[in-house]
């Protein structure tokens, strides 16, 4: 053995190490591949040795070779061996190799689970770190599930180095194992406030990444992030948070309002460009979310645009690029503010940097107007000529087309100009976008009737010069244009000046070299032209022209008959035979023109691209049912039932052969009867639509006016006199148009001036009939052509909604999980269990195993119970010992404890840390209300006293009792789920409950609503900045009017903020009342003093040293129109009775001339429910509570309550701070607790309009008052 090792190490000395390998490769530049293959052979030898050092060296070299593109997956097992070395050096090499070449389908990965787990729990932090780093690269769903719990534990590691890595890797775990997200989230959230900035940054990073994909689930974290944003100084963290807010604001406009001010401050104060840029970006996002109707944000827009202009003008190309990028975002909603910087953007078009030019191009899209379109496009055309790279030129081409065709050709005033631009674009060499130009030509020619004459003439020229386009390049994309040209010439051949010539051009032998689908169109349209020629010669007694035409067809078509393309061949032979037959008839002097042209009679209407998809499925048709039961499994794979439907499609719409996408054409060649029939149906549909409130009618402003008349003939088309000559020699055509357009506009302006002098009515009448072409604003530029844009047809009863275009394979979809719902018992990360045997199982079985794994801990629970207790005792002992020897670190022990604590499973952790444990359920519901509260801190402007979240529309304001602690609008559902989940582990729960209660007695309820204070802290800071007048949403305000006079309005909010404070004197509790002061007059209010006449029971807390009747100065002054909030703490002795306190506010009104003393009296009303705190309660604990004898009962009946039961419950929860314990049909039990620990239990039953509430409480007075208040709440609605 020893000999072997010695031999190994001697061998090793002769082995190449990485440096030698690299050197060798560099020395063998000529035969690198050969050299490397010998090296790989050597490596294979080395891997066979037992010496781990040799192996590690070999693996290290493999990692290098992998980078050079060599597949090293064959060494996967050896990599695992090296990973499991006890030496850090080798371990690191192994993990690096694994991270470079392992992936989900690497089969040896399943062997690594235990090794990784071992490394994760290694006492050496770098072992753990290396394992985490490696794992982050190759984590699989199996690894994620098996190791999630271990990583969770590491998130609370003592070393920040490990913590931050563990936090970061959780994102990968979530992606692979979405079930872990909910159980792990609370801890992740905790890490947002980790003392170590690195860990904090990692947590922000992970949550931002999660929230970016599913922002709505993370809205409730907004207050927390807001706090971080205002407190953090780490720019990385700030950037992430600000980016996150950018994703959140579209969901919650109120958030945006709150953000504007701090962001604006940051923009002004920061020196970091990266931060400034992100701030601007998020402000833009906010502005977009607030959209229009916010005139007073124009300052913010101006600020953004101004800052961006500075960026764009900067000499640093990076800033210029980013500036343009952000500008394009503003463009979407505030085009006006960007348009003023047109000069700058056009300047960027000339930049030498392609990235910047592309960005500037993006911006152009929104800068065009009717006025400047031609000018801008002219400029772009110049760039097209100059452009060197094809990519940039193609980009220009698509941009030109985009710009011109946007919103249904809104900005085009002269379609002749546009057609000539398109024709000019065909001269581009080597563009990939031939089909794009083609589809534009088709679209314009079909939809703009007035342009057809011109278009046809242009297309005929194009066909004539086809050789210029195609050259000798078969694959040239531009030849797609010929497809459009041929079709347009054929379809609208009646406009052709010289159809014979065009026909000749279309039948040239060279056409046979074009792609098949184009040939097919040529052949088909040649036939149309043929028909036109015949028709034009009708009545002409001299038959030579027709004879010649037929002869030409018969001579040229055989080339196509021999085509390899099926489509071409089929059409050509059909038409050939037809022409031969016609020729025979002609020779007999039979008039055939009528019949031939009847073949192609009828109009084409454009059909919307999505029309086919939008055909609704008829009622009673289930597309998923089998028409015939599948005979057997083996056959069903070959015959897909879907084929039946796909085959049918071509019958409905004409078969099409190219990707001339965008608009599908459907030929509506219908006989008169059919036309009449459709007319009737259309009429009926119109009726139906008129009566259907959900039908989206075309508004006058939008361009898309759906044609209701079946034929295009019915559309009133105004004939235009063409003032523009068709061809202008010399200049390129489109330029000519620009000049002409200028002249035309000038002329028009002059005319308009004349008209202005005349009566207005006359002016109006000229425009009344105009069918289309955009808003009339735009400096009153009238289009040269009265354009009639035929809109796209949609199927009858088209489904209005757009298709959901979310990618079902997106891994982030699985992470769309509601994080605010309380954790159910069944949701936990599977705890380490024996799963070695499972490793080889198939994934399907693994899923089953997963189910078992989640159940395992429950079964074990009983057994483990005793152990747990022991552990807990240990824990306590440890805590004691810690206290004794505070300065000594018990590293290993502590870590041990961590592991155990987490392994034991959630509930136990809960009972150990009551302050946290009781939070999740509370905080979930509370957080929602918290968020609302946090967002809606703007006082409600008038005496609308509250708009409860639940059923905001139907709820009339219930003035008296104002409360917060809102539950979810449908609290029953999740609660029910939770209840069910708790049942199986009932007795376990009871024990916990006991422990919990014990703890609570010791600690004295001080843990409630701590999170509330966070939100409140923000509030007073922010309050003055929000414009309450414009609150668009029905906000959830808990404020009620306290008192009001002509100078000032006071609004009170209480109840929600009731909490007790630790270390309170005796049994007294404290109640915090927030009062909003709003200045209603035009004068300055100052020296405000707030005073309340104390009662025996309730006392205003005054600063030490002041007497019992001294008033408190309000810590701010109020300029006109401003409001602010102050909070006052009251000490309450007994809470069983509602209280009313009289108070006075004195203040000085200061105007320019004088100042006067004023005062305002008010009454503070403390209801009994305001002493209640929403406390969750489990059903078993609830049952136990009811059994105990010391509860007094009472009951109340409510008549005429007309609302759904869950609304009723939500109302009680919302107004009276109860939580639903259990709900069965129309019966629910509810629970709440007072700040002094009184239990209040309700049993609510409903039948019809009668609601009966049976209640129990250990304090009958309190109960009676609470019931009265509930009754009052419902009597008011």
Partner 1 sequence: MIKAILIFNNHGKPRLSKFYEHYTEDTEQQIIRETFHLVSKRDENVCNFLEGGMLIGGSDYKLIYRHYATLYFVFCVDSSESELGILDLIQVFVETLDKCFENVCELDLIFHVDKVHNILAEMVMGGMVLETNMNEIITQVDAQNKMEKSETFIFQSTRQDR
347 belongs to the binding site for partner 1 (CB under 8 A): no
In the complex, least distance from residue 13 CB atom to partner 1, rounded to whole angstroms: 10
CA distance 681 to 671: 15
Closest by CA to 172, choosing from 801, 762, 811, 764, is: 811
Please identify which residue in 49, 114, 133, 476 interacts with partner 1, judged by CB under 8 A. Answer: 133
- Convert 844-898 into a string of H (helix), E (strand) and C (coil): HHHHHHHHHHHHHHHHHHHHHHHHHHHHHHHHHHHHHHHHHCCCCCCHHHHHHHH
Please identify which residue in 120, 132, 966, 1050 interacts with partner 1, judged by CB under 8 A. Answer: 132
Q: Which residues contact 532 (CB under 8 A, 6 or more apart)?
A: 493, 494, 496, 499, 597
Q: Which is nearer to partner 1, 278 or 846 (CB)?
A: 278
In the complex, least distance from residue 318 CB atom to partner 1, rounded to whole angstroms: 5
CA distance 996 to 910: 9
Residues 175-204 that bind partner 1 (CB under 8 A): 198, 201-202
In angstroms, how far is CA 726 from the centroid of its own chain? 50
Q: At what angle do helices 273-290 and 235-248 cross, to 10 degrees?
A: 10
Closest by CA to 306, choosing from 354, 358, 341, is: 341
Count the Cβ atoms, other than its own, within 10 Å of residue 1229. Answer: 20
* Phi, then psi, of 936 in degrees rounded to 5: -100, 30
Q: Which is nearer to partner 1, 134 or 1015 (CB)?
A: 134
Q: Which is nearer to partner 1, 274 or 746 (CB)?
A: 274
321 belongs to the binding site for partner 1 (CB under 8 A): yes
Please identify which residue in 163, 164, 297, 832 interacts with partner 1, judged by CB under 8 A. Answer: 164
CA atoms within 13 A on the CB side of 1275: 11
Please identify which residue in 7, 9, 876, 1140 interacts with partner 1, judged by CB under 8 A. Answer: 9
Region binding partner 1 by CB under 8 A among candidate stretches 318-326, 802-810, 1096-1104, 1250-1258: 318-326
In the complex, least distance from residue 123 CB atom to partner 1, rounded to whole angstroms: 13
In the complex, least distance from residue 315 CB atom to partner 1, rounded to whole angstroms: 9
Residues 386-445 that bind partner 1 (CB under 8 A): 391
Q: Which residues contact 243 (CB under 8 A, 6 or more apart)?
A: 208, 212, 278, 281, 282
Q: Which is nearer to partner 1, 162 or 1230 (CB)?
A: 162
In the complex, least distance from residue 92 CB atom to partner 1, rounded to whole angstroms: 7
Please identify which residue in 205, 406, 703, 1064 interacts with partner 1, judged by CB under 8 A. Answer: 205
Please identify which residue in 88, 581, 677, 695 interacts with partner 1, judged by CB under 8 A. Answer: 88
Cα maximum dimension of the chain: 126
Please identify which residue in 48, 87, 986, 1142 interacts with partner 1, judged by CB under 8 A. Answer: 87
865 belongs to the binding site for partner 1 (CB under 8 A): no
Q: Which is nearer to partner 1, 244 or 582 (CB)?
A: 244
Please identify which residue in 161, 365, 706, 1182 interacts with partner 1, judged by CB under 8 A. Answer: 161
Q: Which is nearer to partner 1, 130 or 1257 (CB)?
A: 130
* Burial grade of 46 (CB within 10 A; 0-12, 13-18, 19 or more): buried
In the complex, least distance from residue 312 CB atom to partner 1, rounded to whole angstroms: 12
CA pseudo-torsion sign 561, 567, 571, 577: positive
# residues near partner 1 by CB under 8 A: 72
For residues 1133 and 1097, the answer to whether their CB atoms sit within 8 Å is: yes
Residues 356-395 that bind partner 1 (CB under 8 A): 356, 358, 391
In the complex, least distance from residue 69 CB atom to partner 1, rounded to whole angstroms: 4
Please identify which residue in 318, 687, 943, 1151 interacts with partner 1, judged by CB under 8 A. Answer: 318
85: tokens are 């070395």
1151 belongs to the binding site for partner 1 (CB under 8 A): no
Residues 57-76 that bind partner 1 (CB under 8 A): 60, 63-64, 66-71
- Residues in contact with partner 1, shown as a per-residue x/- string from 89 to 128 under the rule CB under 8 A: x--xx--x---x--xx-------------------x-x--
CA distance 469 to 480: 10
Q: Which is nearer to partner 1, 119 or 932 (CB)?
A: 119
344 belongs to the binding site for partner 1 (CB under 8 A): no
1036 belongs to the binding site for partner 1 (CB under 8 A): no
Residue 885 bridge partners (DSSP)? none
Residues 214-273 that bind partner 1 (CB under 8 A): 235-236, 239, 243, 273
1156 belongs to the binding site for partner 1 (CB under 8 A): no
Q: Which is nearer to partner 1, 175 or 579 (CB)?
A: 175
Q: Which is nearer to partner 1, 236 or 1116 (CB)?
A: 236
In the complex, least distance from residue 126 CB atom to partner 1, rounded to whole angstroms: 5
581 belongs to the binding site for partner 1 (CB under 8 A): no
In the complex, least distance from residue 275 CB atom to partner 1, rounded to whole angstroms: 8
Region binding partner 1 by CB under 8 A among candidate stretches 86-94, 990-998, 1077-1085, 1217-1225: 86-94
1 belongs to the binding site for partner 1 (CB under 8 A): no
In the complex, least distance from residue 21 CB atom to partner 1, rounded to whole angstroms: 10
Q: Which is nearer to partner 1, 124 or 1276 (CB)?
A: 124
In the complex, least distance from residue 1186 CB atom to partner 1, rounded to whole angstroms: 51
Which helix (DSSP H) or strand (DSSP E) does residue 1042 occupy?
A: strand 1040-1044
317 belongs to the binding site for partner 1 (CB under 8 A): yes
Burial per residue of 1122-1155, b for 16 or more beta-carbon CB atoms within 10 angstroms, e otherwise: bbbbbebebbbebbbebbebebebebbbeeeeee
Q: At what angle do helices 181-190 and 141-154 cross, to 10 degrees?
A: 30
Q: Which is nearer to partner 1, 208 or 479 (CB)?
A: 208
The CA-based angle 284-290-291, given to 5 degrees, is: 85
1010 belongs to the binding site for partner 1 (CB under 8 A): no
* Burial grade of 751 (CB within 10 A; 0-12, 13-18, 19 or more): exposed
- Residues in contact with partner 1, shown as a per-residue x/- string from 272 to 301 under the rule CB under 8 A: -xx--xx-----------------------
Q: Which is nearer to partner 1, 161 or 1084 (CB)?
A: 161
876 belongs to the binding site for partner 1 (CB under 8 A): no
Burial per residue of 673-708, b for 16 or more beta-carbon CB atoms within 10 angstroms, e otherwise: eeeeebeeeeeebeeebeeeeeeeeeeeeeeeeebe
Q: Which is nearer to partner 1, 80 or 1136 (CB)?
A: 80
Q: Which is nearer to partner 1, 9 or 855 (CB)?
A: 9
- Residues in contact with partner 1, shown as a per-residue x/- string from 21 to 60 under the rule CB under 8 A: -xx--x--------------------------x------x
Q: Which is nearer to partner 1, 21 or 904 (CB)?
A: 21
CA distance 16 to 39: 9
Q: End-to-end alpha-carbon separation of the chain, Å?
A: 90
Count the Cβ atoms, other than its own, within 10 Å of residue 310. Answer: 12
DSSP state at residue 1118: B
For residues 152 and 113, the answer to whether their CB atoms sit within 8 Å is: no
354 belongs to the binding site for partner 1 (CB under 8 A): yes
Region binding partner 1 by CB under 8 A among candidate stretches 136-144, 673-681, 900-908, 1045-1053: 136-144
* Phi, then psi, of 343 in degrees rounded to 5: -55, -45
1070: tokens are 């404290």
Q: Which residues contact 623 (CB under 8 A, 6 or more apart)?
A: 617, 645
């Amino acid at each position: 053995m020893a000999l072997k090792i010695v031999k190994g190490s001697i061998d090793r000395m002769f082995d190449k190490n990485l440096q030698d390998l690299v050197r060798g490769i560099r020395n063998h530049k000529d035969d690198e591949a050969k050299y490397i293959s010998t090296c790989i052979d050597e490596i294979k030898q080395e891997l066979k040795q037992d010496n781990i050092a040799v192996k590690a060296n070999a693996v290290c070299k493999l990692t290098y070779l992998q980078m050079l593109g060599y597949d090293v997956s064959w060494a996967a097992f050896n990599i695992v061996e090296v990973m499991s070395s006890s030496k850090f050096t080798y371990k690191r090499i192994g993990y690096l190799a694994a991270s470079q070449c392992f992936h989900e389908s690497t089969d040896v990965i399943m062997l690594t689970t235990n090794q990784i787990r071992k490394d994760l729990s290694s006492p050496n932090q770098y072992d753990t770190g290396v394992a985490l780093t490696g794992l982050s690269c190759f984590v699989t769903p199996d690894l994620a599930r098996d190791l999630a719990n271990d990583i969770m534990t590491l998130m609370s590691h003592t070393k920040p180095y490990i913590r931050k890595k563990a936090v970061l890797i959780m994102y990968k775990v979530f992606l692979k194992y979405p079930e872990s997200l909910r159980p792990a989230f609370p801890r992740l959230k905790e890490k947002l406030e980790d003392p170590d900035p690195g860990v904090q940054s990692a947590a922000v990073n992970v949550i931002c990444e999660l929230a970016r994909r599913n922002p709505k689930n993370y809205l409730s974290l907004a207050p927390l992030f807001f706090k971080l944003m205002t407190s953090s100084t780490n720019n990385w963290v700030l950037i992430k948070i600000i980016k996150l807010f950018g994703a959140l604001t579209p969901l919650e406009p109120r958030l945006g309002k709150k953000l504007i001010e701090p962001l604006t401050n940051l923009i002004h104060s920061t020196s970091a460009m990266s931060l400034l840029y992100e701030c601007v970006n998020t402000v833009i996002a906010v502005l977009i979310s607030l959209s229009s109707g916010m005139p007073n944000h124009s300052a913010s827009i101006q600020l953004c645009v101004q800052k961006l202009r500075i960026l764009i003008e900067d000499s640093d190309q990076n800033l210029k690029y980013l500036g343009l990028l952000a500008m394009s975002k503003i463009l979407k909603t505030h085009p006006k503010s960007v348009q003023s910087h047109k000069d700058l953007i056009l300047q960027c078009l000339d930049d030498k940097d392609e990235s910047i030019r592309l960005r500037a191009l993006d911006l152009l899209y929104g800068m065009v107007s009717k006025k400047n379109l031609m000018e801008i496009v002219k400029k772009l055309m110049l760039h097209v000529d100059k452009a060197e790279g094809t990519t940039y030129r193609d980009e220009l081409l698509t941009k030109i087309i985009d710009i011109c065709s946007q919103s249904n050709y809104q900005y085009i005033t002269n379609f002749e100009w546009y057609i000539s631009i398109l024709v000019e674009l065909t001269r581009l060499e080597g563009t990939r976008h031939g089909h794009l130009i083609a589809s534009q030509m088709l679209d314009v020619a079909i939809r703009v009737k007035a342009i057809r004459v011109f278009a046809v003439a242009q297309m005929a020229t194009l066909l004539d010069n086809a050789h210029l386009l195609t050259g000798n390049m078969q694959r040239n994309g531009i030849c797609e244009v010929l497809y459009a040209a041929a079709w347009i010439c054929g379809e609208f051949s009646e406009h052709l000046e010289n159809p014979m010539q065009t026909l000749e051009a279309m039948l040239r032998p060279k056409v046979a070299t074009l792609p098949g689908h184009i040939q097919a169109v040529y052949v088909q349209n040649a036939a149309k032209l043929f028909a036109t020629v015949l028709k034009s010669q009708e009545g002409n007694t001299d038959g030579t022209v027709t004879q010649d035409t037929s002869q030409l067809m018969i001579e040229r078509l055989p080339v196509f008959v021999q085509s390899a393309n099926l489509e071409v061949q089929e059409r050509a032979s059909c038409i050939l035979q037809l022409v031969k037959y016609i020729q025979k008839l002609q020779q007999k002097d039979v008039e055939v023109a009528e019949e031939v042209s009847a073949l192609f009679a009828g109009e084409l209407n454009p059909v919307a691209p999505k029309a086919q998809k939008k055909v609704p499925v008829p009622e009673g048709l289930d597309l998923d049912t089998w028409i015939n039961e599948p005979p057997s499994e083996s056959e069903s794979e070959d015959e897909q039932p879907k084929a039946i439907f796909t085959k049918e499609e071509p019958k409905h719409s004409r078969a099409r052969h190219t990707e001339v996408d965008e608009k599908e054409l459907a030929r509506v060649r219908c006989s008169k009867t059919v036309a009449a029939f459709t007319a009737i149906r259309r009429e009926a549909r119109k009726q139906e639509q008129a009566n259907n409130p959900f039908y989206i009618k075309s508004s006058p402003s939008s361009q898309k006016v759906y044609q209701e008349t079946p034929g295009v003939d019915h559309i009133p088309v105004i004939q235009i006199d063409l003032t523009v000559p068709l061809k202008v020699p010399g200049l390129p055509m489109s330029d000519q148009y620009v000049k002409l357009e200028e002249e035309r506009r000038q002329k028009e302006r002059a005319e308009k001036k004349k008209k202005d002098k005349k009566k207005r009515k006359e002016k109006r009448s000229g425009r009344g009939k105009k069918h289309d072409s955009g808003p009339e604003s735009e400096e009153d530029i009238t289009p040269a052509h009265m354009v009639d844009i035929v809109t796209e047809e949609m199927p009858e009863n088209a489904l209005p909604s757009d298709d959901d275009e979310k990618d079902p394979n997106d891994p982030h979809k699985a992470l769309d999980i509601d994080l605010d719902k309380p954790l159910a018992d069944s949701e936990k990360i599977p705890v380490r269990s024996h799963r070695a045997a499972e490793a080889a199982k198939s994934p399907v079985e693994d899923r089953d195993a997963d189910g078992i794994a989640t159940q395992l801990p429950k079964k074990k629970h009983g057994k483990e119970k005793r152990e747990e207790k022991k552990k807990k005792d240990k824990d306590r002992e440890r805590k004691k010992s810690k206290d004794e020897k505070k300065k000594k670190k018990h590293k290993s022990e502590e870590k041990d404890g961590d592991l155990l604590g987490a392994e034991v499973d959630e509930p136990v952790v809960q009972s150990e840390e009551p302050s946290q444990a009781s939070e999740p359920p509370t905080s979930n519901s509370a957080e929602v209300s918290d968020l609302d509260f946090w967002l809606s801190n703007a006082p409600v402007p008038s005496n609308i006293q509250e708009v409860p979240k639940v059923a905001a529309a139907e709820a009339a304001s219930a003035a008296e009792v104002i409360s917060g602690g809102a539950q979810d609008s449908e609290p029953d559902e999740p609660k029910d789920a939770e209840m069910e989940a708790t049942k199986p582990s009932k007795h376990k729960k009871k024990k916990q409950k006991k422990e919990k209660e014990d703890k609570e007695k010791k600690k004295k309820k001080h843990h409630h609503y701590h999170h509330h204070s966070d939100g409140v802290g923000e509030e007073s800071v922010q309050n003055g900045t929000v414009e309450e007048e414009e609150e668009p949403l029905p906000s959830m305000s808990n404020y009620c009017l306290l008192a009001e006079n002509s100078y000032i309005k006071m609004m009170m909010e209480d109840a929600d903020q009731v909490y007790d404070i630790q270390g309170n004197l005796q049994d007294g509790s404290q109640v915090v009342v927030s009062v909003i002061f709003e200045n209603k007059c035009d004068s300055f209010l100052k020296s405000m003093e707030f005073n309340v006449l104390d009662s025996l029971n309730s006392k205003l807390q005054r600063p030490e040293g002041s007497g019992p009747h001294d008033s408190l100065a309000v810590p701010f002054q109020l300029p006109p129109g401003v409001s602010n909030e102050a909070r006052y703490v009251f000490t309450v002795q007994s809470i069983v009775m509602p209280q009313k306190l009289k108070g006075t506010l004195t203040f000085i009104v200061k105007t320019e001339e004088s100042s006067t003393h004023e005062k305002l009296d008010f009454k503070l009303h403390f209801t009994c429910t305001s002493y209640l705190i929403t406390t969750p309660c489990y059903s078993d604990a609830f049952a136990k509570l009811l059994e105990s004898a010391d509860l007094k009962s009472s009951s109340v009946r409510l008549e005429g309550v007309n609302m759904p039961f869950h609304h009723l419950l939500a109302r009680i929860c919302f107004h009276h701070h109860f939580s639903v314990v259990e709900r069965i049909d129309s019966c629910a039990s509810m629970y709440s607790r007072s700040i002094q620990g009184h239990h209040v239990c309700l049993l609510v039953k409903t039948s019809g309009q009668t609601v009966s509430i049976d209640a129990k409480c250990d304090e009958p007075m309190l109960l009676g008052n609470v019931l009265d208040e509930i009754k009052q709440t419902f009597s008011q609605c």
